[in-house]
Amino acid sequence: MVQILEKILKNPIYNETDQRLIQKAFNFAELAHRGQRRLSGEDYISHPLYAAYFLSQLGMDATTIAACLLHDTLEDTNIKPDDIKRDFGQEVLFLVEGVTKLGKIEYSPSQPNQKTAFENIRSLKKMFFAMAEDIRVILIKLADRYHNMETLKYRDKEAQKRIALETLEIYAPIAARLGMGKLKGQLEDTAFPYVYPEEYAWLMKNVKGKYADRMEYIERTRPILKHYLTEANISVLDLHARAKHYYSLYQKIKDHSMDAEKVFDLVAMRIIVPDIKSCYEALGVIHKHYRPFPGLIKDYIALPKPNGYQSLHTTIFCEKGKIVEIQIRTPDMHEHAENGIAAHWAYSESGKKIFKANLKETEWVNQLKEFLQDMKPREGITKLKIDFFKNRIFAFTPKGDVKDLPEGATPIDFAYAIHTDLGHSMNGAKINGKIVPLNRKLKNGDVVDIIKSKNMKPSNDWLRIVKTTEAKKKIRSWFAEEEKKKSELEKLSKKSGDEKITARKEKKKKIAIVSGPKGTPVIQGQTGLMYKIAKCCNPKVGNKIKGYMTVNQGVSIHSVDCSNIKKVSGKDKRILSVDWSLRSK
């Protein structure tokens, strides 16, 4: 344990003051927890210490490291808030209290009764409110969870399953949304076997061997690619293989009807180059030597993912025709992809670390806070999971404005995200220029053109298609409004049934005035209908005429004196009144 503390202290990001603070927090926590043990048999202090070590590797500031070392003292020992304030000051106390308040979230989606649902929401609210105040609170919580997952094997079966599920459904998505791709992968992979033991066993049996083969292949191919790049004067800082995390691999295989052969990025090759210009140059060199797979070239540098991820991706027919995914990025982009929000620390001029949170991330936390504020406990966390924890995609309007939506969102969600009225009046959608069904799932980078029509109305079916709570809410309120109008109208018509009839008559009169170009028949007051002049009597403009509705040739126009038309009873509904239009064109 002393070695772990040494490792933290020796991290060059901490100056002497920082080191003193960390050492003091360790001594304080060690004394407070003395005599307590983890289920693993280790001294309790090992838990906050490992969590603190994790945060130090992310480059977190000494205040956060100290707070992390102290994070369980208020709950599990005799230490009082005043003790921490006296020895460490207000900032450290704020963080420790923040983590303590989150407490133990009793997340039990398996028994979604009123009470547990209420508890879930209450504790999640607490968590996100604390996050909104200081994002470091959640980073400590994530480190705490990371170490608890590492030592989950010592817990009983019931606790294992509950904690692992909570990790998959709450903590891993938070890490992902904060851009901490590495931690997200680690959390998911440790939770995976506890939550889905059979699926995990399947994956190990069927895919593990393939992993090893692919790894070996990439190792053999690496020098060839490196040669091509250096030959083109591109400086390659690093070129390594990255194996896909097991849980995300399993998710992907599920989407490909359990066929691992169809997953091209089982193992990807990652190229790190000094700057953006070199990224595009490297892509050019790769495509010069290997044919790219159509449709899989992705420029996340020009169009970053909603969580800020940047990189170039391409999938090529590599050596011996094998399909390989290549990722090209700068060291900054790489650091961001791995550690996200924790990578945004920067030294201020005075040498003190200051926190520069990415605007996108703080915005997300604030949206979450608002969402939770109006949320009713019995609504459960399904909505929350869809709107905030699902992977996000971005789609564009034809003018190039970006909308960021949950994965699985449809053109209807897109339309409502732009404007309520656009949603209500949408008649269809084009994606990348092609008409698509309204239930088509949007993909990253799609250009969505909403076709609207004045007479369109929302349909009840839409409620089953849409993904976002926003769209659902707007459709429901449209129907509620419509219901209200209808009942008001009914009340009105009961009161004034006579008035209504008069109104209808007037409408009829109005129609009779309608006329087309001079010399065309006006049928029942309407122009533009399909008609033909009957051959039997061949009426001329100015003759008195009548119409007869035929099955498929429109209205046949006869002279009123025609013997054929006289055979048909005047009461027959197929007989129509017709006049010649007198208006000149």
Q: Which residues are CB-neighbours of 422 under 8 A, at least 6 positions away?
A: 415, 416, 450, 452
70 vs 132, which CB is nearer to Mn ion? 70
96 vs 124, which CB is nearer to Mn ion? 96
50 vs 364, which CB is nearer to Mn ion? 50
Residue among 30, 76, 91, 407 flagged as catalytic: 76
100 vs 278, which CB is nearer to Mn ion? 100
CB of 76 to Mn ion, least distance (A): 8
Stretch that binds Mn ion, among 72-80, 110-118, 238-246, 278-286 (CB under 5 A): 72-80
Q: Angle at CA 87, nearest 5°, toward 86 and 89? A: 70
Is 76 one of the catalytic residues? Answer: yes
Comparing CA positions, the residue from 51, 57, 307, 56 lying closest to residue 178 is: 307
CB of 140 to Mn ion, least distance (A): 9
Asked whether 428 and 346 are in contact (CB, 8 A), the reply is no
List beta partners, residue 523.
Answer: 526, 578
CB of 289 to Mn ion, least distance (A): 51
Asked whether 234 and 285 are in contact (CB, 8 A), the reply is yes
Stretch that binds Mn ion, among 137-145, 162-170, 283-291, 404-412 (CB under 5 A): 137-145
CB of 163 to Mn ion, least distance (A): 12
Residue among 75, 238, 370, 506 flagged as catalytic: 75
CA–CA dist 11, 53 (Å, integer): 10
CA–CA dist 312, 50 (Å, integer): 35
Q: Hey, CA dihedral for 434, 437, 442, 448, is it positive or negative?
A: positive
99 vs 286, which CB is nearer to Mn ion? 99
CA–CA dist 298, 290 (Å, integer): 16
Helices (H) and strands (E) in the chain, counts: 24, 17
CA–CA dist 298, 87 (Å, integer): 52
Using CB under 5 A as the binding criterion, the count of chain residues that bind Mn ion stands at 2
Q: What token pair was written down for 462?
A: 């839409």
Which of 144, 265, 361, 413 binds Mn ion (CB under 5 A)? It is 144
CA–CA dist 124, 561 (Å, integer): 85
Stretch that binds Mn ion, among 144-152, 278-286, 509-517, 559-567 (CB under 5 A): 144-152
CB of 188 to Mn ion, least distance (A): 20
Which of 18, 61, 72, 325 binds Mn ion (CB under 5 A)? It is 72
CB of 71 to Mn ion, least distance (A): 6
Asked whether 236 and 226 are in contact (CB, 8 A), the reply is yes
CB of 428 to Mn ion, least distance (A): 53
Q: Which residues are CB-neighbours of 396 under 8 A, at least 6 positions away?
A: 402, 403, 445, 446, 447, 448
Q: Which residue is nearest to Mn ion (CB)?
A: 144
131 vs 426, which CB is nearer to Mn ion? 131
38 vs 430, which CB is nearer to Mn ion? 38
Residue 166 interacts with Mn ion (CB under 5 A): yes or no: no
Q: How many Cβ atoms from other residues are within 10 Å of residue 456's Cβ? A: 13
148 vs 311, which CB is nearer to Mn ion? 148
Widest pairwise Cα distance in the chain: 116
Stretch that binds Mn ion, among 64-72, 425-433, 441-449, 491-499 (CB under 5 A): 64-72
Stretch that binds Mn ion, among 5-13, 67-75, 315-323, 340-348 (CB under 5 A): 67-75
Place of tokens 């344990």: 1
CB of 137 to Mn ion, least distance (A): 13
- Catalytic site positions: 75-76
Return residues touching Mn ion (CB under 5 A).
72, 144
